[in-house]
Copies of this chain bind each other. A is one copy, B any other.
Amino acid sequence: VGKGELTRRAILDQAVAMAARVGLGGLTIGGLATITGMSKSGLYAHFDSKESLQVDVVEHARDAFVDLVVGPALRTPRGEPRLRALFEHWLAAGLARQPGCTVLVQSAMEFDEQVGAVHDVLVRDHRDLHETIAQIVRTAISEEHFRDGVDPEQFAYDLYAVMLGVYHASRLLDDPRARIRARNAFEALLVAARR
């Protein structure tokens, strides 16, 4: 990794943190210049336009989510233990307001009906995530942790909904029981999948 790439990553770290605060739509080359202390022309050397900056921010946020949540889960045993590891790492990152995790969830809602490259990369990343969850559920069935007949795509939908719920409860409602609510919901999904 060269110096240019290290600089680019350092800028993107700050851009993801900024987007977590003001939204991806509120992220501008000018605002990023103020925060990083770089000139706008220096930033344009790394990002062609506001849209390409936003796309790079989504991809950087996705990389952080993979490093913190998906990667550690994939290093645990297949099946239910892996699903639990995914859930626990995701819950911890969400409750800690990890910027990459925040940006992925917030931007998905912010750009859900917009047209363009940012929307498209968000759709691709979320489809990837759903497919990753469904695949772990399939291994839980083949390992006989879950019964045959569990629908992996439905489970992925249900788990993502639980994570949106904890995001809502912890942030808007500042609910001190958000963590236990999410755990209860997750355990109920496991119980239904086992029986």
Contact = CB atoms under 8 A, between A and B. Distances in A.
Given A106-B109, A109-B106, A168-B108, A185 B161 contact: yes
B106 A168 contact: no
Interface in A34-87: none
A148 interface: no
Interface in A99-132: 105-106, 108-113, 119, 122-123, 126-127, 130
Interface stretch (A1-9, A88-96, A139-147, A169-177): A169-177
A171 B164 CA distance: 14
Interface in A148-195: 151, 153-154, 157-158, 160-162, 164-169, 171-174, 177, 181, 184-185, 188, 191-192
Contacts of A23: 25, 110
Contact of A160 (B109, B157, B168): B168
Contact of A192 (B105, B123, B172, B192): B192
Contact of A164 (B165, B184, B185): B165
A-B interface, 5 closest residue pairs, ranked by CB to CB distance from nearest = A161-B165, A164-B164, A112-B171, A112-B172, A157-B181
Given A113-B171, A123-B173, 15 more contacts: A23-B25, A23-B110, A105-B109, A106-B109, A109-B167, A112-B172, A122-B172, A123-B174, A126-B168, A154-B185, A157-B181, A158-B185, A161-B161, A164-B164, A164-B165
